[in-house]
Amino acid sequence: MEFFGEVAAWFADPANWNGPDGIPARIGEHLVLSIVPLAAAVAVALPVGAWIGHTGRFSNLVINIANVGRAIPSLAILALAAMLLQRTIVDIGLRDSASEIVTMIALFFLAIPPILTNAYVGINEVDDQIVEAGRGMGMRDLEILRRVEIPVGLPVILVGVRTAAVQVVATATLGAVVATGGLGRYIIDGIAQRRFDEVFAGALIVAALSIATELGFSFIERRATSPGLRGRDTAPRELAQAGRPGGI
Amino acid sequence: MSPPAGPIMGAMQDATGAVVSFENVTKRYPGSDSPAVDNLSLTVPAGEICVLVGPSGCGKTTSMKMVNRLIEPTSGRITIDGEDVMSLPAVELRRRIGYVIQQIGLFPHLTIGDNVAVVPKLLRWKDQRIRERVEELLEIVGLDPAAYAKRYPTELSGGERQRVGVARALAADPPVMLMDEPFGAVDPIRRDRLQNEFLRLQEKVRKTIVFVTHDVDEAIKMADRIAILQKGGILAQFDTPAAILANPASEFVERFVGADRGLKRLSLGRVGDLEMIEAITVRAGEDRTAIRARLDRVDELDYALLVDDQDRPLGWIDQQDLRGSGPINPEAASPGAPTVERETTLRDALSGMLGSSVQLGVVVDERERVLGLVSVDAIGERLRAPVRAADGGLHPVGEAAS
């Protein structure tokens, strides 16, 4: 119980809320560290996944890349990125933010598989009959994608983005290992200096941020999904002819 | 205003059907020895329903899909009012041809109104015009726009979805409609209703319709002309339903149409062709003595028909229910007679009537209101009288297959 008292005291200490290593500053760094690679991954993986889902071409390649990507541990991706890229980044004159860039690149690759897979699956699973109806009514490929496949596949697509976002927010903590800012600092520095109240407080904030991310994206999913896809009111009803007899 | 570009656009303007013509059309899929459609030539006159029917693998769906180029022919050509369908870009062509598929294919994420508006939106109509058109179409297919426009497809029954599918296909008033087993997803009773409804609609809109089904009875009921296809995409016979039933062109056609050809010719007649008997309709609460008096005036009728306040049938009232005096008890009505519409085939009507205890069919209009009664005897009468068949000759309807 004493330990929790210390953690509470850590949160109560105004010094931990101010300055470059205060909680707001660290959350800000953490968000930048997360949002940039997530946005980049969405920009790349969504169109690629959607197009592959639409055409059905190269689907095996995508699935395999995604599976391999998922199998590699996050820390390994980060270490790999640091080894392969740090030197180059420093060489091109970005020494000051080299750690951040390396971490963002690692997180970018981490975010790709769920977004890519779900974009592909979401589009690919759209009923062929519906797609055929769209084509038969004179939609062009892009119109089918934009007006039919993406909106119908949206719930699945957004689950991919949410999964990636939560993963990125959680994993951005590891950036501290290669000397970035963000909430990982509390944990890494706390361990190094045996300040376990700070370690625990940092872990709590990361967990809260991850949960907030999860809830935020769930909210967006609900808002963005057409009511027609929400699976409610699935029981067929005869409205115009309520009680209409089939014979007397 | 510039003049319309070509007949397909021109036919759009007056919104009636256009002539659809297949000229030596062959479709060969790569890697397949035999063609899916083999040298098909037939002409569907403007405003007629042409039903393509045959066993699976006969190329009926392939033939239909070549009209809007979802499948492109290997050789030969298809014209609409003389204009080759290949002369327009495929998407332009498709926006001018209505398309209804088996599972209806409504877009689940769009409201009913937005589903109907798809093609007008692709054609970039003004919002106001789209709104008006959507309302008009929902009314045409019997769905109240105020109740339905904002609903989603999952909230509708199969029959309602089917009507929305038809409304959507009619949205841009295309001269030609393609329908791929459009009534395949609804139960038999509702199918009969929807077919009748569609035939009434077609009376008004007079589109040229290419209709695919595997069901011979549906073909006989819906078609002005039937094209029977056999395996390998060979046209076995192309003629009116009456002519095909009277003179099957080959053993294949004879077998495909079935041994009960004589009985099937009952499908050529409609309930509307019969002499109707006036129904004695009563409402709950009417006095029994008065009803008895009304019933006694009619010789051929032993039953009164209880109806609700909208004149919709509820059930039969027999002599026993009418004993004594006082108001009639609505619970006394016994259900069990089929309702039929004027478009119902004699075959379906007879089949329904034979299966019920009171062998009378209650004829209702599209709002379910009672119009009158038809009897098994009236159908028998009809069987003995020769009818003028669509081929111009006189055939007794019940004539045995020869």
Kindly give the residue spans of alpha helices, DSSP state H, lying in B83-124. Answer: 90-94, 112-116, 118-122
* H-run or E-run covering B261: helix B261-264
The label of the residue with tokens 């919002």 reads B127
- How many residues belong to chain A? 248
Chain A residues interacting with chain B (CB cutoff of 8 angstroms): 127, 129-130, 132-140, 143, 147-148, 151-152, 154, 226-229, 231, 233-234, 236-241, 244-248
Nearest C-alpha neighbor of B348 from the set B260, B225, B200, B217 = B217
pLDDT at B385: 63
pLDDT at A238: 30
Cross-sheet strand order for the sheet of B83-84: B37-44, B20-27, B75-80, B83-84
- Long-range CB contact pairs, B194-203, < 8 A, 24+: B194/B159, B194/B162, B194/B163, B195/B221, B195/B222, B195/B343, B196/B341, B196/B342, B196/B343, B196/B344, B197/B141, B197/B142, B197/B163, B197/B366, B198/B166, B198/B222, B199/B343, B200/B343, B200/B366, B201/B140, B201/B141, B201/B166, B202/B49
- Chain A residue at shortest CA distance from B65: A136
Q: Can you list the domains of chain B with their CATH numbers?
A: 6-260 (3.40.50.300), 272-383 (3.10.580.10)
Are residues B362 and A233, on separate chains, in Cβ contact within 8 Å?
no
* Min Cα separation B252/chain A (Å): 32
Chain center to CA of A79:
21
pLDDT at A241: 29
| Distance (Å, whole) CA B131 – CA A191 | 66
* Min Cα separation A234/chain B (Å): 5
- Chain B residue at shortest CA distance from A237: B157
Nearest C-alpha neighbor of B79 from the set B26, B11, B15, B23 = B23
Query: Rounded to whole angstroms, what are the CA distances from B110 to A92, A135, B105, B114, B176?
Result: 51, 16, 12, 6, 25
One-letter amino acid at A164 equals A
Q: Which residues contact A31 (CB under 8 A, 6 or more apart)?
A: none
Neighbours of B385 (CB within 10 A): 10
State whether the Cα torsion B84-B87-B89-B93 is positive or negative. negative
Strand partners, B210: B50, B178
For residue A239, how many C-alpha atoms fall within 13 Å in the half-sphere facing its CB? 21
Residues of A in contact with B151 (CB under 8 A): 239
pLDDT at A143: 93
Q: Which residues of chain A have pLDDT under 70?
A: 1, 231-248
Neighbours of A150 (CB within 10 A): 20
pLDDT at B157: 86
Please provide residue B247's backbone torsions phi and psi, each rounded to the nearest 5 degrees. Answer: -135, 80
Q: Which residues of chain B have pLDDT under 50?
A: 1-5, 7, 9-14, 389-390, 392, 397-402
Instruction: Look up the CATH architecture of domain A41-181.
Output: Orthogonal Bundle (1.10)
Nearest C-alpha neighbor of B80 from the set B183, B191, B175 = B175
8 A C-beta contact, residue B375 and residue B277:
yes
| Distance (Å, whole) CA B80 – CA B16 | 12
* Residue B402: Cβ-neighbour burial (10 angstroms; 0-12, 13-18, 19+): exposed
- Chain A residue at shortest CA distance from B91: A138
pLDDT at B2: 44
Taking only the tens place, the pLDDT of each residue in B133-179 is 999 999 988 899 999 999 999 999 888 898 999 999 999 999 999 99
Are residues A132 and B105, on separate chains, in Cβ contact within 8 Å?
yes
Three-state secondary structure call for residue B67: helix
8 A C-beta contact, residue B305 and residue B325:
no
- Long-range CB contact pairs, B195-203, < 8 A, 24+: B195/B221, B195/B222, B195/B343, B196/B341, B196/B342, B196/B343, B196/B344, B197/B141, B197/B142, B197/B163, B197/B366, B198/B166, B198/B222, B199/B343, B200/B343, B200/B366, B201/B140, B201/B141, B201/B166, B202/B49
Q: What's the DSSP call for residue B391?
A: T
Query: Rounded to whole angstroms, what are the CA distances from B107 to A85, A150, B161, B262?
Result: 47, 12, 11, 43
- Chain A residue at shortest CA distance from B305: A248
One-letter amino acid at B315 equals G
Taking only the tens place, the pLDDT of each residue in B14-40 is 457 899 999 999 999 988 888 999 999
Q: Which of B67, B94, B112, B155 to mutate to test the interface with A (most CBs of A within 10 A)?
A: B155
∠ at Cα A228 (B186, B140), nearest 5°? 55
pLDDT at A140: 94
| Distance (Å, whole) CA B241 – CA B245 | 6
Which sequence spans correspond to the domains of chain A?
41-181
| Distance (Å, whole) CA B305 – CA B169 | 39
pLDDT at B297: 81
Are residues A143 and B122, on separate chains, in Cβ contact within 8 Å?
yes
Residues of A in contact with B170 (CB under 8 A): none
One-letter amino acid at A205 equals I
Please provide residue B34's backbone torsions phi and psi, each rounded to the nearest 5 degrees. Answer: -95, 145
8 A C-beta contact, residue B278 and residue B294:
no
Are residues A138 and B337, on separate chains, in Cβ contact within 8 Å?
no
pLDDT at B281: 86
Three-state secondary structure call for residue B239: strand
* Min Cα separation A111/chain B (Å): 28
- Chain A residue at shortest CA distance from B366: A241
Q: Which of B72, B101, B107 to mutate to test the interface with A (most CBs of A within 10 A)?
A: B107
pLDDT at B11: 43
Residues of A in contact with B362 (CB under 8 A): 248
One-letter amino acid at B360 equals L
8 A C-beta contact, residue A41 and residue A111:
yes
> Using alpha carbons only, how large is chain B's radius of gyration in Å?
24
Are residues B106 and A133, on separate chains, in Cβ contact within 8 Å?
yes
- Chain B residue at shortest CA distance from A141: B91
Three-state secondary structure call for residue B389: coil
Q: Residue B143 is nearest to which of A134, A240, A247, comparing CB atoms?
A: A240
Supply B138's token pair. 């929902």
| Distance (Å, whole) CA B329 – CA B351 | 30
pLDDT at A231: 59
Supply B35's token pair. 């063609």
* H-run or E-run covering A186: helix A184-192
Nearest C-alpha neighbor of B304 from the set B350, B378, B373, B369 = B373
Chain center to CA of A72:
17
